[in-house]
Structure 1
Amino acid sequence: MTKLRSYDTDELVLHRLFFALKPSEEAIGEIAEIRDGLGPVQSHIPDEKLHMTLFVHDRPTTPDPELIDRMSKVAAKIAGPAMRVALGELIGNVSNVLLRPGDHMPVLGAFRDKLAYGLAVAGVPSMRGYRFDPHVTIAYGMRDSFRRSVPLISWRSDELVLVHSLVGLTEHRILGRWKLGD
């Protein structure tokens, strides 16, 4: 946690940098339909913040430009394919509601491992305890736990984004975008 206070409260702000894949506009519509049909939840994730996290790095203070530059250079070097992302399972509990792949996605896993390795070599460790588990969070705080299949939501992901998240302020700032594939 940082000592920076949020603008209008005494809440501490956590700085988080993460690489992610963003869903297509069509997929966002399909995700929103499922999210909006959940019933009572603590909060929904807005359309513009929907993403699949590949790598997370927490910071105690505002990230310095040198760190962002190192992360950006790794992203620029990673030759990743455009890849099909497919979500077919909805899981909810008191913490969050997630859309997850119905099947293993080896191309996504290999790309994520390549990115994480490049960042480690560049001296950028992942967040302590972070384990890659592909999903898109769509809401927080369900009363009941559940797991069920949903109609497949699929998109061709052709862009990697680097995001600076101000966790206590629920703010996302896009720091970089890199094309994937040919």
Structure 2
Amino acid sequence: MSGSEVAQQHRLFFALRPTPAGVQAIVAARQQVCERLGLKGRPVAAERLHVTLHWLADHDEFPQALCDAASAAATNLVAEPFDVRFDQVGSIGGARDPGPLVLTGGENLAALRRFQRALGDEMKAAGIGHYARSHFKPHVSLLYPGVYVAREAIEPLEWRVDELLLIDSHVGKSVHEVLGRWPLLQRQGALAW
């Protein structure tokens, strides 16, 4: 490999994406917060806004076996659509290492936490449990402002989650390739005769 060639790096993760209306609301809320607080920085592109559920590491070569196991875990997950409600914004880190400005929330994200744990259980059953995150801070990264922003309440942003995604982020190229989609299916009630 010559010095000008860089190995393609694949960052695989399970994620949820907001609905189109959710994306519009998030972008508008981000703009309002940035204007009010005078924040500048690199925003996350609207088409890449997401909640990471489990990170499956970075790989120099595409990990087909891992992708197959992740697909099996997602296929075996039985879950119904659910609502998420993010009602806070602030830095994910502390003053020394603030990280991105994120949307987050508290009790309103209980269904999301249960879903993330259930997916982790299916990952364990598929033999990739070492990738399952036991500590989960549900959030949507909005912007990389390079400064600490104290957490504050905002007008709630809500959307209905109706599918799970497996994404390959092409590191350094700002590309999210969707490797798989699994719809969350509403269970039918028993028929009344």
TM-score, reference length from structure 2: 0.80
* Partner SS state of residue 29, structure 1: helix
**Count of matched residue positions in the alignment of Structure 1 and Structure 2:** 176
TM-superposed CA distance for 1:73, in Å, is 1.4
Partner of 1:153: 157
Deviations along 1:14-44, one digit per CA (max 9) or x if unpaired, are: 4221111110111111100122231433200
Partner of 2:82: 83
Q: Relative to structure 1, is the Cα distance of residues 46 and 4 closer, same or farther in structure 2, using a 3 angstrom cutoff?
A: farther
Pairing of 1:88-107 with structure 2 (within 5 A): 88-92=87-91, 94-107=98-111
Range with greater deviation from structure 2 (112-121 or 157-166): 112-121
8 Å CA contact 1:163, 1:174 repeated in 2: yes
Gaps of 5+ in 1: none
Q: Relative to structure 1, is the Cα distance of residues 126 and 31 closer, same or farther in structure 2, using a 3 angstrom cutoff?
A: same
Pairing of 1:8-157 with structure 2 (within 5 A): 14-37=9-32, 38=34, 39-92=38-91, 94-124=98-128, 125-126=130-131, 131-157=135-161
Aligned equivalents of 1:167 and 1:123: distance in 2? 25
Aligned equivalents of 2:2 and 2:109: distance in 1? 39
Q: Which amino acid aligns with 1:40?
A: L
Of all paired residues, the percent bearing the same amino acid is 28
Aligned equivalents of 1:89 and 1:5: distance in 2? 44
TM-score, reference length from structure 1: 0.85
Gaps of 5+ in 2: 187-193
